[in-house]
Amino acid sequence: QVQFVESGGGLVQPGGSLRLSCVTSDSLFRFYEMAWYRQAPGKQREVVASITTGGSTNYLAFVKGRFTISRDNAKKMMYLQMNNLKPEDTAVYYCNQNLAGITSWGKGTLVTVSS
């Protein structure tokens, strides 16, 4: 199973910024459509942003204009730049392939937006 490792989370005040990173050792990374997911306490995991192999992106309406997803296939990495963070963005963020029915997840990285 493909392994992804997330990092970059932390505590930030409302209006602040964070940049999340995702890395894999899988040499097939460049062939995967990828996504950032998040799971807030008591809620189901949801797709926040996705990026195709060609770099086309899609965003959850609530984060559009504030978050930017990108990838570096040569480094086998993906990023999520998060600006103007809101308390509602508080969640554990995960990266994975943009597929339904995924059963293997990394540990994620916790983002807490609070004053």
Instruction: List the pLDDT tens digit at each of the 115 positions of the chain.
Output: 679 999 999 999 999 999 999 999 999 999 999 999 999 999 999 999 999 999 999 999 999 999 999 999 999 999 999 999 999 999 999 999 999 988 899 999 999 999 9
| Residue 69 CB-half CA count within 13 A | 28
pLDDT at 74: 95
The order of strands in the sheet holding 18-23 is 5-7, 18-23, 77-82, 67-72
pLDDT at 63: 97
pLDDT tens digits, one per residue of 67-77: 999 999 999 99
Angle, alpha carbons 110-114-115 (nearest 5°):
150
Mean pLDDT of the chain: 96
